Chains A and B, each alone.
Chain A
Amino acid sequence: MSILVDKNTRLVVQGVTGNEGLFHTSQMVAYGTNVVAGMTPGKGGEWVLDGKVPVFDSVKVAVEATGANTSIIFVPARFAADAIFEAADAGIGLIVCITEGIPVLDMMRARDYLDQKGCRLVGPNCPGLLTPGEAKVGIIPGNISIPGNIGVVSRSGTLTYEVLYALKLVGMGVSTCVGIGGDPVNGTNFIDCLELFEADPQTEKVVLIGEIGGTDEERAAEYIADHMTKPVVSFIAGQTAPPGKRMGHAGAIIEGGAGTAADKVKALEAAGVRVASHPEEIPGML
């Protein structure tokens, strides 16, 4: 078992003919992900990757022709919200948006709409998901993690790769890794993932990687205290971040005194979570 993506994932790639889209589609196919379709408006009827993946003009047509149940979005920021709406309208149940730089108001509208439709979004501004040995839906390097019983959820990209790699080096594997993204308004949050990991029989322990900005980690801490039976280990990036400055990710900012790493560590520790002082400590704490 695992969460969200596995052998049953049938993936459609939105923006499959762009540089990023095509490169990562080839990586996902090489990993063994079941990529059933690509989508780029105006390029329906073409094939990419030496005839391995058919391209359609719309997500709806791709779903009808291939039974795709998951989509991944690689389109530029100014068109990304539209791509999310399109996937939702085509009946896709899980939408993964890699794109960075989507305006917040666009995301708030998209989030509102998805909630009404009952679809799940992972991201945006995220590395996607990896269920080692089964499916890679995103841009997480496939060779840095092995199958196992640790669930990983993170707001970051390369920091997550660090942790996956550190786990692999000591022979520890992962059930599923979910990158929920670094934007202030996103789809799936920490609590959603904790709930899924708690219910997943394969997952025995969870690693939660947070960072400054917002109060998602604090709310996750409340959830852990009330609902989690599985142990959670955490790391929070941004102890030294100055207030009022956006640290790369749109959501990584301390505003009006709120969103500091110290507050998050305090909340997590109060919930019984062990918080590492740096990421290399994590494997030893599991």
Chain B
Amino acid sequence: MKLHEYQSKQIFAKYGIPIPRGRVAATPEEAKHIAEELGGRVVVKSQVLVGGRGKAGGIRLAKTSKEAEEVAGQILAMEIKGLPVRKVLVDEAAAIDKEIYLGITNDRAAHKPVMMASMAGGVEIEEVARQTPELIIKAHIDPLLGLRDYQSRDIAYKIDLPRDHWRVFGQIARGLWQAYLDCDASLAEINPLVITGENKLVALDGKMVLDDNALFRHTDLAEMRDLDIEAPSEIEARRYGLSFIKLDGSIGCMVNGAGLAMTTMDIIKLFGGEPANFLDIGGGASSEKVAAALRIILSDQNVKAVLFNVFGGITRGDEVARGILAALDEVKPQVPMVIRLVGTNAEEGLRMLANAKMITAETLADAAKKSVAIVKGGAAQ
């Protein structure tokens, strides 16, 4: 789960990381008031969960509170990469002397968190990693010991941070690690961490991504979820405990198991079609779950056929068939449906489905070919 800049910076501030004075606004008038309070020049920053806000014109400077109101009005009317801007952050403007990158993420291969820092801050760290990887300094953090002070001093030394900043940099690094740990983050990033004209370290921007699997112990953070970045069908699917991702194709997919669901999408593409979604209905196949999944798939007008690919393992094929029949009865889909059911009691399951006007397929390849033929207007049988 991604947090907005203003949410991330509020968390950082709690951990002693210096951030600019400022507040979030939902209307131009609020932005004006905040700018008045702050006095002087401000930066008005769109709060949307995509990169490239600056390039899109979503971050602008305002010299007066009147100008802040105007700029906020313009930004609040924008859509950035398809996402509406609902809030802006109004921060006091800082004179920037140097831009530093400081972040923590999980290194999967090392199975440890890793702190990364670079004097080439202010641009995307992936870009720095591609162009000039030698400018990124990394230190793995022992998950049982935590970040040690010597590690942040070592980082400060290696990125050539002037010595007079080491003490505060150490505090910021420690605060960032503690925030990362306490929030169960998978990314906590300050980019840029600037040295201001007054020679102070300030976190101008902030970004956090939280581990969805740990949200059960962070109900306060879970409430911060911004649903704008998810398709309505994805939100609906989560309510039913279904793992669903909307795609742009025309063949709906209903599969048990994540790996098999990806494979089903891949094979549709291999035979010239386009999948409309990723969907894992999970173990078992209760009629409620199948019906909910079917409704969600069919709510997409692009869907011209649905491919069921179910492996009967512990959940027997006949139980799966019963769930599907009940769901079909309830949803009454109007598009052709192809089913491939294999594994335990598959034959019995297919016999039960014989009257359901579903097109049966023996193999996964066969099922994909038949689905593709339907959406391309060819004969399915």
Residues of A within 8 A of B (CB): 27, 77-78, 101-109, 111-113, 139-141, 143-144, 154-162, 165, 182, 184-185, 209, 211-216, 219, 235, 237-242, 245-252, 256-257, 261, 277-280
- Per the bound structure, the CA–CA distance linking A113 and B181 in Å amounts to 18
Residue from the list B129, B213, B262 in contact with A104, Cβ < 8 A: B213
Q: Is B270 an interface residue (CB 8 A)?
A: yes
Contacts of B267 in A (CB 8 A): 278
Q: Is B108 an interface residue (CB 8 A)?
A: yes
Chain A, residue nearest B105 (CB): A255
- Per the bound structure, the CA–CA distance linking A214 and B126 in Å amounts to 15
- The segment from B131-139, B251-259, B352-360 found at the interface with A is B251-259
Q: Given A245-B245, A280-B364: A103 and B256 within 8 A (CB)? A: no
Q: Given A185-B111, A280-B363: A252 and B258 within 8 A (CB)? A: yes
Q: Given A165-B311, A240-B266, A245-B245: A155 and B108 within 8 A (CB)? A: no
20 contacts between A and B (CB under 8 A): A78-B217, A103-B217, A104-B213, A108-B106, A112-B143, A141-B313, A144-B313, A144-B343, A158-B259, A158-B313, A159-B257, A161-B313, A185-B111, A219-B109, A235-B263, A240-B275, A245-B245, A248-B257, A248-B262, A277-B270
* Cβ-defined contact, B108 with A215, below 8 A: yes
Range of interface residues on chain B?
Answer: 35 or more
Chain B, residue nearest A252 (CB): B258
- A246, chain B: closest CB distance, angstroms: 8
- A116, chain B: closest CB distance, angstroms: 9
Q: Given A104-B213, A108-B113, A248-B280: A162 and B311 within 8 A (CB)? A: yes
- Per the bound structure, the CA–CA distance linking A125 and B358 in Å amounts to 33
* Cβ-defined contact, B143 with A242, below 8 A: no
- B339, chain A: closest CB distance, angstroms: 15
- Per the bound structure, the CA–CA distance linking A32 and B154 in Å amounts to 56
* Cβ-defined contact, B108 with A185, below 8 A: yes
Fill in one digit per residue for B55-79: 1 if any A CB lies within 8 Å of its CB, else 0.
0000000000000000000000000
Q: Given A141-B313, A165-B342, A185-B106: A241 and B265 within 8 A (CB)? A: yes
- Per the bound structure, the CA–CA distance linking A162 and B261 in Å amounts to 12
* Cβ-defined contact, B257 with A157, below 8 A: yes
* Cβ-defined contact, A278 with B364, below 8 A: yes
- Per the bound structure, the CA–CA distance linking A115 and B257 in Å amounts to 30
Q: Is B144 an interface residue (CB 8 A)?
A: yes
* Cβ-defined contact, A161 with B343, below 8 A: yes
Q: Given A77-B213, A78-B216, A250-B213: A278 and B365 within 8 A (CB)? A: yes
Contacts of A214 in B (CB 8 A): 108-109
Chain B, residue nearest A238 (CB): B262
Contacts of A104 in B (CB 8 A): 106, 184, 186, 211, 213-214
Fill in one digit per residue for B113-146: 1 if any A CB lies within 8 Å of its CB, else 0.
1000000000000100100000000000011100
* Cβ-defined contact, B184 with A237, below 8 A: no
- Per the bound structure, the CA–CA distance linking A103 and B255 in Å amounts to 25
Q: Given A214-B108, A252-B262: A108 and B364 within 8 A (CB)? A: no
Chain A, residue nearest B187 (CB): A255
Interface-central residue, B268, B314, B342, by most chain A CB under 10 Å: B314
Contacts of B233 in A (CB 8 A): none
- Per the bound structure, the CA–CA distance linking A246 and B213 in Å amounts to 12
Contacts of A212 in B (CB 8 A): 262
Chain B, residue nearest A116 (CB): B144
* Cβ-defined contact, A248 with B258, below 8 A: yes
* Cβ-defined contact, B260 with A159, below 8 A: yes
Contacts of B262 in A (CB 8 A): 159, 211-212, 237-238, 240-241, 247-248, 252
Fill in one digit per residue for B198-234: 1 if any A CB lies within 8 Å of its CB, else 0.
0000000000000111101100000000000000000
Q: Given A185-B106, A278-B266: A105 and B214 within 8 A (CB)? A: yes
Chain A, residue nearest B247 (CB): A242
- 14 further A-B contacts with Cβ under 8 Å, apart from A103-B213, A159-B262, are A104-B186, A112-B144, A141-B343, A141-B344, A143-B344, A157-B257, A162-B342, A237-B260, A238-B266, A239-B265, A239-B269, A248-B258, A252-B258, A256-B129
Contacts of B169 in A (CB 8 A): none
Q: Is B112 an interface residue (CB 8 A)?
A: yes
Contacts of B247 in A (CB 8 A): 240, 242
- Per the bound structure, the CA–CA distance linking A212 and B143 in Å amounts to 25
Contacts of A144 in B (CB 8 A): 313, 343-344
Chain B, residue nearest A259 (CB): B108
Contacts of A249 in B (CB 8 A): 258-259
